[in-house]
A = this chain, B = another copy of it.
Amino acid sequence: MVLLRRGMATMASLKRSGKVVCIGRNYADHITELNSARPKQPFFFQKPTSSLLLPGEGPVIRPRGVNLHYEVELALIMGKRVRDLNSEDEQAALDAIESYALSIDMTARNVQNEAKKKGLPWDISKGFDTFLPIGNVISKAAIPDPHKIELYLSVNGKMQQNDSTELMLFRIPRILADISKVMTLEPGDIILTGTPKGVGAVVPGDVMRAGIRVDGKELEEARMEVA
């Protein structure tokens, strides 16, 4: 009963989402593996709400001709309308968050690389339907410190990503400050905080398992097939 009610709250929160804003290049080793430049400040992009894949809704669909990459990320679900947050005010940032979730920022890497080369928007590469699998809502109480959890993702049983959010280059208060100086954040908005190293390709038939550990204990795990 409690679980069911939690599940329903989840759906409601996620369906309320007005926008999904994602930070790029927020873990040093991931920047290295993609041969990207290290950003002097956080930069961000959007995924459309139509790309959301809620718990139980799988699989992730690989579009034809796409080199499909996974990027496991910690998602923040906003609980307040905020703008111009101060990056030094950690409490204000945490207060603006309603809850957390596990997410995978699925990316058409070949389309993204082409866009980068031509100076074109990233939206297509990040925005296909099913490109944003998201897990159940995780209460703030379950994550005492969002900069001290482990994110992991395995493909067909082989661990590919497994790092602590301690490694974020820009921490959550800075991320929320920078976004909210451009775009007002609203309740239900979802923020993806970047992916650690280990991204790679998946093909139809692959099974991803992604999860969050807190103090070495598994808090959330989701299984996601690729079709």
Contacts and interface: CB of A to CB of B under 8 A. Distances in A.
Q: How large is the interface on A (under 10, 10 to 19, 20 to 34, 35 or more residues)?
A: 20 to 34
A121 interface: yes
Contacts of A183: 48, 50-51, 127-129
Nearest to A119: B116
Copies of this chain assembled into the complex = 2
Given A43-B120, A116-B119, A119-B119, A18 B50 contact: yes
A19 B83 contact: no
A116 B118 CA distance: 8
A37 B118 contact: yes
A169 interface: no
Contact of A129 (B18, B37, B51, B184): B184
A190 to B, nearest CB: 12
Contact of A48 (B24, B37, B46, B119): B46
A43 B111 CA distance: 12
Interface in A183-207: 183-186
22 contacts: A18-B49, A19-B48, A24-B120, A24-B121, A37-B118, A43-B120, A43-B121, A43-B124, A44-B121, A44-B123, A44-B124, A46-B46, A46-B48, A48-B183, A50-B183, A50-B184, A51-B183, A63-B182, A116-B120, A121-B121, A122-B122, A127-B182
Interface of A: 18-19, 21, 24, 37, 43-46, 48-51, 63, 83, 115-124, 127-129, 182-186
Given A19-B49, A37-B118, A63-B182, 4 more contacts: A18-B49, A21-B123, A44-B123, A124-B182
